[in-house]
Amino acid sequence: MTRLAHERTLCAFDFDGTLSPIVEYPGQAVMGGQTRILLGRLAALYPCVIVSGRSRPDVLARLRGVKVARVVGNHGAETEATTAKPDSRVAQWKASLEYELGAFPGLWVEDKGLSLAVHYRQSPQKTEARRRILAATRNLRHVRVVGGKQVVNLTVDRAPDKGEALAAERDRLLCNWVLYVGDDENDEDAFALHGNIVPVRIGRKRHSHARYYLHTQAEIDKLLELLVLLRGH
């Protein structure tokens, strides 16, 4: 951590489950007040980016004035330079999935323009819900499927992933080290980035590219505080 504080380090974070706790419904996600303050301090000291599965406007609204170097949405595919026009393939996937999955209880499809999230957190039959979702995705073309915490994510197969987005930000901001913190399967591409990277996972997982971990999301404030403190020395 001391080494990171004395290098040109890019500090990068996922949003849900990392800067904010996991919630029952995506619309309820919010950063804690202390996290918001610390992230603002961090962003004033280090190049700082957010790389989220959410759409970019959604994340910007939840940052509420915290100035970071860039927000990348849709699992790495969406920056301010990306066309705002939704991908027509995503709309086709949504129609197909809603037809295939019908009224399966507790399952719903979130359309983020450049990707879909099929949520089953509210389903009383989670194992069967996930099985049906994955079966339905096999009928789709040009799709990349990434699992998650009671969600299945669908992105365009050739769209940039989080690892590619992180590499682009590292190069754009002329950083020689990267700290990346995430919590889910779609963060593994970022954890596996080549070069000088410190990958930190929220929650320990045996088969992960992240070499370091925090026990819980609640520990993010300690990490942010330490980064701020060390840069000040």
Q: Which residues are catalytic?
A: 14
Rg of the chain taking only CA atoms, in angstroms:
18
Identify the CA nearest to 63 among candidates 91, 37, 84.
37
Q: Which residues, listed in sequence order, are joined to residue 116 by a DSSP beta bridge? A: 111, 154
Torsion of CA 205, 207, 209, 210, to 10 degrees: 20
